[in-house]
Amino acid sequence: MLNNFPLWPQQASTIASHVDALYIFLLIVTGMMALLIFVCLIYFAARFRHRPGVRAEQIEGSTALEITWSAIPFLIFMVIFAWGAAVYFRERIPPADATEVYVVAKQWMWKVEHAEGQREINELHVPVGRDVKLIMTSQDVIHSFYIPAFRIKQDVLPGRYTVEWFRATKPGVYHLFCAEYCGTQHSGMVGDIVVQEPAQYEAWINGGSTGPLSATGEKVFSELGCSTCHRTDAQGRGPNLQGVFGKPVQLEDGRTVTADENYVRECILDPGAKRVKGFQPIMPTFQGLVSEEQVNALVAYIKSISATKPGDASEKSKSSASAAAPAQSNAQPNGSQVQ
Amino acid sequence: MPDSTVAGLHRQEQHHPELLHHFAEPQQQRDAASLGMWVFLATEIMFFGGLFCAYLVYRRWYFPDFAAASKSINATLGATNTAVLICSSLTVVLAVWAAQTARRTLLISMLGITMLLGLVFLGIKADEYYDKFEEHHVPGASFSFDNVPIPGHPGEFANPRHAQIFFTLYFVMTGLHALHMIIGLGIFLWLLTMAWKGRFTPEWHTPVEIGGLYWHFVDIVWIYLFPLLYLIDRHP
Amino acid sequence: MPQPERENYLNKEYGVWSWLLTTDHKRIALLYLISITFFFFIGGFFALLIRLELLTPAGDLVQADTYNKLFTMHGMVMVFFFLIPSIPAVLGNFLVPLMVGAKDLAFPRINLLSWYLYIIGGVMMMHCMLTGGVDTGWTFYAPFSTSFTNTKIVEAGLAIFVAGFSSILTGLNFVVTIHRMRAPGMTWSRLPLFIWAHYATSIIQLLGTPVIAVTIVLVAAERALHLGIFDPKLGGDPLLFQHLFWFYSHPAVYIMILPAMGVVTEIIACFSRKRIFGYSFVAFSSIAIAVFGFLVWAHHMFVAGISVYSALVFSFLSYAVALPSAIKVFNWTATLYKGSIHYDAPMLYAFGFLGLFTMGGLTGLFLAALGIDVHVTDTYFVVAHFHYIMVGGAVMGYLGGMHFWWPKISGRLYPEGWARLAALIVFIGFNLTFFPQFILGYMGMPRRYYDYSHMPEFQVLNVLSTAGATVLGVGYLLPMLYFLWSMRYGKPAPDNPWNAAGLEWKTSSPPPTFNFDEEPVVTWEAYNYDELDAPQKEEVPVAR
């Protein structure tokens, strides 16, 4: 019966136990504070109820008491603050070599694309024990990618990337919810996070029929004519993009920014905003000419030509026709771009 | 047994005809009116403050486009309007002094000139808005801002979407300011009527003082708006 | 044998126009009482439909769009047309001049204008609801509200804009009255803490409301003209909307709770027959809450995409703002020590407030903790937290205050037995409705979901919550019924049925139009219960 009346979601990620530990601490601390106050209230209410002939004693106050019951709670609050901040830092800063998965949210579904090219709708397959970083954007309104069992949540915004990461610890299927109200079918924008043993996951990921995301990106790069200006020699009218991802970039207006996902995306959609020093403002905007999935693919490609990471190198070498049909396959036919 | 009726109060004491009955004495009424206007102006600061906030964020993001858009509005007219408003604040101060020193003619003429200057301001504003309308710089369906060069950066052109944000803020901010001016004109019309009827005396001229405060505030808002909107990155 | 009635503010003049054109703060308070009660029941009706839908996991009572409109309208009506006016516009309007010893507020005509603005805003909102309503949530986040929804955002926004000015003018009136119209001898440190609380509330109303007003203007402009202030496709920033929105809407929650704290302070002092413990600390805590309340808005945005460092700052400040509230709870509790406590209905509501506000406030500590907030934000945990404060706190405070001052306002006594029963029903119903929602939230049930058929394990707690809501509804209906009954059949009230301290109790029940027969001159400290209960006098309320 208790299975049908749970009080607590499962812990299925490395951060979940940290969040729960802080939660339990808070339950205890606030429980004790509440108990203290309630006991005083009830006791005083009973002990000092009106009795004929007994008058109230006028007590002005006590500065000592005021200071005590300000300082002690404040110290407790600071402990909670610091602990909460520590958990938050761990939650929000992804490890450097996490596997990347792109997520595009739209009313009212989640579109997931693995770097290897595997696509999913309203599902996300991940292997147990691996750091996974979600790079997310929305096609329309603000959504929020929420996995209660992992204790993580991040709003997904239109016009920019937001990032969320986790490491799953237990195989199983867990709820995925949209947690930012987004219109009519907000409550229908749910899905499953499928955590698999590494072997099963490998089988699944190799069951797809498209190449890695970065290869798609390479195709888009040449189809849209980017390679005309962004050449790999020094004669291009646009900057050479080899090795550029993740490094600092000097801008025309004197600022220096890091070439992260958001910067690459902005360069594609709004080229004048952060123009690189030393180059003419001749890059046309691709706003309206590329879908979110194509932008994701281009970003993956730009990363791959800056890659020194083993993960990226293996992406390019994975072939799509390798494995037999895996036990759990969610291969999606991929003829056309999903808008 | 004190008579708490209005008639009873009148019988009991000779008080200033303008003293409202819930006040104990004229000084209290004056202090209340003055504090009330200052508090109201604080709320107006917060009201415009939200817009200034939005403006500052987008100006920092899209500085070159904002500079290009700012260049396209007429700084001479804007500067003229600034001078007009500063003069009108002078006439307001003179009007208050006139009320304090029982100079009825001066009071009436100063109130009148203030209103005239206010109308001049609005007229110049209307002219500016009309220019913007003609140039298709009014945000909305017919907005266009193509091939407008960015000042100081030859060969570069402003992003129309970002320029539209500038013009949105321009129209909302100056429009709200103009609305406050129009309300101010209404207030001053009322003050003028009261002054004409001789209602203001050195003992009681509170409406002139607080009306003046309101006008000064509207003036100050413009003094912030002018450089922020008209003088972005102006080169000689 | 009924005696000839003394002239008071109720019988001075009869006729609809004597009410609709009144400048008497007491009559305006009653006009507000009727209007906000109306909106309370409208908002409550929407809540009932929401809870009925959530009895079953499937979305089977109403359609998705209808449900989205229900929770939106529930929020907008309850926040802007009930909670924000409630105590200030009813009890504040009635009592502020009386408590400071003035004949009326500083600007009586502006007070009437304030009510008319509220009514105009209310009519606009009703019209909006009846012609289709809004489905953005009361928070109307961009770009959904600016570029995607087809519902009547501009109309709802303008209704709130107009009602906002009602709020601003009320605040303005209170600030000027408290500064300039105190009776001789009424120094700041002799003011009832109800006045301090309303002063702090008024500061927030004055400085915060204009920001949401301008936000609404920008949203309306963006919708009407397809501009790009908040829509990223046109160069705008959706996060700017959130900052501007929450800059007001967080202080707004302090507008809702501070007056209730003021009410509870008066009740606890009276029914313990004691001066409040730590008067200056309670007074300055009210001011501190108002000031710090303006500095914490982005704790609603910890997962919205703000930087980790911003989040740190706002989390820290959120703990800072929790402290003055905690100090108040300790001071109220300490007031009971060595008091002489009576359990009349107002005191029962005050006890209810203490328990529920403490729980709501403590759960705020969970939300301010960054690591926890990531998991529970946008879930039912937050819904439970704010209902504990706004309903368990503010509404209990409002009801307690209505009971406490009802004899003064109406000149009648309400039936004490029924009142105590209602207080108990409200307390039980409330906890049954909202406690399960904390659990639902930690389990992961998101807000604003009308269909949870993917998560049938959430049903049991939802059913408990709905059961509680029906009990709560009964608890709210009772006072309305017996207050109305008492106006005709209740026992006439003496000037000071509770033998309470405060200038309002020194005049008749109900008071005359100009409040006092003679201008009071104050020579005593606030909460002088030792004098009131001195041996030569009859101790104890003689109300029954």
Q: How far is B165 from chain A (nearest CA, A)?
A: 15
Nearest CA to A158 out of A136, A143, A179, A137 is that of A137
Q: Which two tokens stand for residue C227?
A: 């501009």
Alpha-carbon C74 to chain mean position: 15
Nearest CA to A229 out of A299, A266, A294, A284 is that of A284
Judging by DSSP bridges, how do beta strands A131-138 and A99-106 pair with one another? parallel
* Whole-number Å distance between alpha carbons of B100 and C212: 39
User: Quick one: residue A9, left, alpha or beta (phi over 0 = left, psi -120 to 50 = alpha)?
Assistant: beta
> In this structure, are residues A204 and A196 in contact, taking their beta carbons and an 8 Å threshold?
yes
Read off the pLDDT of residues C486-524 as tens digits, 9 standing for 90 and up.
Answer: 999 999 999 999 999 999 999 998 999 999 988 999 999
Chain C environment of B169 (Cβ under 8 Å)? 229
> In this structure, are residues C499 and C532 in contact, taking their beta carbons and an 8 Å threshold?
yes
> In this structure, are residues C338 and C347 in contact, taking their beta carbons and an 8 Å threshold?
no
Read off the pLDDT of residues B119-157 as tens digits, 9 standing for 90 and up.
Answer: 999 999 999 999 999 999 998 888 999 888 888 887 788
CATH 1.10.760.10 at A213-317, yes or no: yes
Task: Tell me whether residues B50 and C247 touch, CB distance under 8 A.
Answer: yes
Residue for token pair 């003094």: B223
Cβ-based neighbour number of residue C177 at 10 Å:
30
In the chain, the amino acid numbered A26 is L
Write the CA distances from C479 to A240, C422, C426, C472, integer angstroms: 75, 7, 10, 12
Read off the pLDDT of residues C328-370 as tens digits, 9 standing for 90 and up.
Answer: 999 999 999 999 999 999 999 999 999 999 999 999 999 999 9
> In this structure, are residues C459 and C445 in contact, taking their beta carbons and an 8 Å threshold?
no
For chain C, the average pLDDT equals: 94
CATH 2.60.40.420 at A99-205, yes or no: yes
Domain ranges, ordered by start, for chain A: 7-46+62-92, 99-205, 213-317
Cβ-based neighbour number of residue A31 at 10 Å:
11
Q: Which two tokens stand for residue A221?
A: 């790069």
Report cis status (omega within 30 of 0) of the bond before A69: no
Q: Which of residues 57-116 of C touch A (CB under 8 A)?
A: 59, 64-65, 68
For chain B, the average pLDDT equals: 90
Task: Tell me whether residues C372 and A157 touch, CB distance under 8 A.
Answer: no
Q: How far is A160 from chain B (nearest CA, A)?
A: 15
Beta strands in C422-539 (DSSP E): none
* Whole-number Å distance between alpha carbons of B106 and B101: 10
Beta strands in A190-252 (DSSP E): 190-196, 248-250
**The residue count for chain A:** 339
Read off the pLDDT of residues C441-480 as tens digits, 9 standing for 90 and up.
Answer: 999 999 999 999 989 989 999 999 999 999 999 999 999 9
Domain ranges, ordered by start, for chain C: 24-532
* Whole-number Å distance between alpha carbons of A320 and A212: 8
Q: How far is B31 from chain C (nearest CA, A)?
A: 7
Q: Which two tokens stand for residue C103?
A: 């004949």
Nearest CA to C327 out of A96, A147, A70, B39 is that of A70
Task: Tell me whether residues C180 and B28 touch, CB distance under 8 A.
Answer: yes
Residue C538: exposure state from Cβ atoms within 10 A (0-12, 13-18, ≥19): exposed
Residue C280 is given by DSSP the state: H
Return the partners of chain B (3 or more C-beta pairs < 8 Å). Answer: A, C
* Whole-number Å distance between alpha carbons of C415 and C544: 9
In the chain, the amino acid numbered A210 is T
Instruction: Tally the C-alpha atoms within 13 A of residue A137's C-alpha that lie toward its C-beta.
Output: 19
User: Phi and psi at residue A166, in whole multiples of 5°?
Assistant: -160, 165
CATH 1.10.1740.10 at C24-532, yes or no: no
pLDDT in the model for residue C537? 53
pLDDT in the model for residue C544? 42
* Whole-number Å distance between alpha carbons of C157 and A114: 42
Chain C environment of A158 (Cβ under 8 Å)? 143, 232-233, 238
Residue C510 is given by DSSP the state: S
* Whole-number Å distance between alpha carbons of C332 and C193: 12
* Whole-number Å distance between alpha carbons of A195 and A12: 9
Task: Tell me whether residues A280 and B155 touch, CB distance under 8 A.
Answer: yes
Q: What is the mean pLDDT of residues C293-312?
A: 96
Read off the pLDDT of residues C115-166 as tens digits, 9 standing for 90 and up.
Answer: 999 999 999 999 999 999 999 999 999 999 999 999 999 999 999 999 999 9
Sheet of A190-196, strand order? A123-127, A190-196, A172-178, A143-147, A152-156
pLDDT tens for the 339 residues of chain A, in order? 344 556 789 999 999 999 999 999 999 999 999 999 999 999 999 999 999 988 899 998 999 999 999 999 999 999 999 999 999 999 999 999 999 999 999 998 999 999 888 889 999 999 999 999 999 999 999 999 999 999 999 999 999 999 999 999 999 999 999 999 999 999 999 999 999 999 999 988 887 666 788 888 999 998 888 888 888 877 788 888 888 999 999 988 788 899 999 999 989 988 877 888 888 888 888 888 888 889 999 999 999 888 765 444 333 333 333 333 333 333 333 333 333
Of the candidates C213, C240, C512, the beta carbon closest to that of B54 is on C240
Read off the pLDDT of residues C519-529 as tens digits, 9 standing for 90 and up.
Answer: 999 999 999 99
Q: Which of residues 97-126 of C touch B (CB under 8 A)?
A: 97, 102-108
**The residue count for chain B:** 236
* Whole-number Å distance between alpha carbons of C48 and B194: 55
Q: Which two tokens stand for residue C58?
A: 């499937």
Domains and CATH numbers, chain B: 25-230 (1.20.120.80)
Read off the pLDDT of residues C243-256 as tens digits, 9 standing for 90 and up.
Answer: 999 999 999 999 99
Instruction: Tally the C-alpha atoms within 13 A of residue C276's C-alpha that lie toward its C-beta.
Output: 30
Chain B environment of C225 (Cβ under 8 Å)? 139-141, 168
Q: Which residue in chain B is spatially nearest to C236 when comparing CA positions?
A: B165
| Contacts (Cβ under 8 Å, ≥6 apart) of C239 | A157, C301, C304, C305, C306
Task: Tell me whether residues C229 and B168 touch, CB distance under 8 A.
Answer: yes
| Contacts (Cβ under 8 Å, ≥6 apart) of A246 | A258, A259, A260, A303, A306
In terms of DSSP H, where are the helices of C294-446?
308-336, 345-368, 370-376, 380-387, 396-410, 416-443
Read off the pLDDT of residues C390-421 as tens digits, 9 standing for 90 and up.
Answer: 999 999 999 999 999 999 999 999 999 999 99
Cβ-based neighbour number of residue A143 at 10 Å:
32
Task: Tell me whether residues A281 and B159 touch, CB distance under 8 A.
Answer: no
Beta strands in chain A (DSSP E): 99-106, 109-114, 119-121, 123-127, 131-138, 143-147, 152-156, 162-167, 172-178, 190-196, 248-250, 256-258
Q: Is A137 helix (H, G, I), strand (E, B) or coil?
A: strand
Q: Which two tokens stand for residue C333?
A: 């509790």
Nearest CA to A152 out of A279, A253, A13 is that of A13
Report cis status (omega within 30 of 0) of the bond before C143: yes
In the chain, the amino acid numbered A231 is R
Judging by DSSP bridges, how do beta strands A190-196 and A123-127 pair with one another? parallel
Nearest CA to A168 out of A183, A140, A149, A191 is that of A149
DSSP string, C165-229: HHHHHHHHHHHHHHHH-PPTT--GGGS-HHHHHHHHHHHHHHHHHHHHHHHHHHHHHHHHHT--S
Cβ-based neighbour number of residue B41 at 10 Å:
16
* Whole-number Å distance between alpha carbons of A260 and A257: 9
| Contacts (Cβ under 8 Å, ≥6 apart) of B43 | C168, C172, C206, C207, C209, C210
Q: How far is B70 from chain A (nearest CA, A)?
A: 18
Of the candidates A26, A61, A87, the beta carbon closest to that of C281 is on A61
Cβ-based neighbour number of residue A222 at 10 Å:
11
Residue A211 is given by DSSP the state: -
Residue C7 is given by DSSP the state: P
Q: Which residue in chain A is spatially nearest to B153 when comparing CA positions?
A: A281
Q: What is the mean pLDDT of residues B59-63?
A: 90
* Whole-number Å distance between alpha carbons of B24 and C153: 47
Q: Is B78 helix (H, G, I), strand (E, B) or coil?
A: helix
Q: Which two tokens stand for residue C137?
A: 């949530």
Cβ-based neighbour number of residue A126 at 10 Å:
22
Judging by DSSP bridges, how do beta strands B149-150 and B153-157 pair with one another? antiparallel
Q: How far is A223 from chain C (nearest CA, A)?
A: 24
